[in-house]
Amino acid sequence: MSVDELKNSWSAIADIGGKDVVFREAIATGVLQLSSSGIEAVKGRSKKGDVREISTIASIQAVKETPRILPHCHTIPIEGCSVEWQIEGCNLRCTVTVRTHWRTGVEMEALCGVNAGLLCAWDMLKSVEKDSEGQYPDSRINNVHVLKKSKGDQHN
């Protein structure tokens, strides 16, 4: 494949230069299914530390680094990000809200935040979640999705 053919096979980043800067918000969520021992570790402290506290940091970092992870995402001036955790039976739910005034939405940032938070929690709970054969019979990341995407109405 020639250099010109290779260049023509790449997609372009969407041109957002003509769009207005407006308030945008996205909320995404997902769950990490765990064993009862994993949930107890979340309620207390895992061998690696406070699962929700450290996983919140991972979520925020992922929100800020989204364009480095997803090559077609624009660099967006993030104005706010919140991460919430809920225990729902044997599920640990992560919900990430991202806000900005910009030309494009922040749903990919919210989704990256949720996924990174859940992956961090899984990593912190590996010693509890692994069975005798080193497998994860109870651990699953499920139902990651955008709950809400807003454009134009500022809610502070």
Active site residues: 123
Closest residue by Cα to residue 107 from 129, 124, 12, 115: 115
Give CA–CA dist 77/67, Å, rounded. Answer: 11
Residue 91, SS3?
Answer: strand
Bridge partners (DSSP) listed for residue 27: 97, 148
Closest residue by Cα to residue 154 from 109, 102, 107, 108: 102
Closest residue by Cα to residue 102 from 154, 139, 58, 51: 154
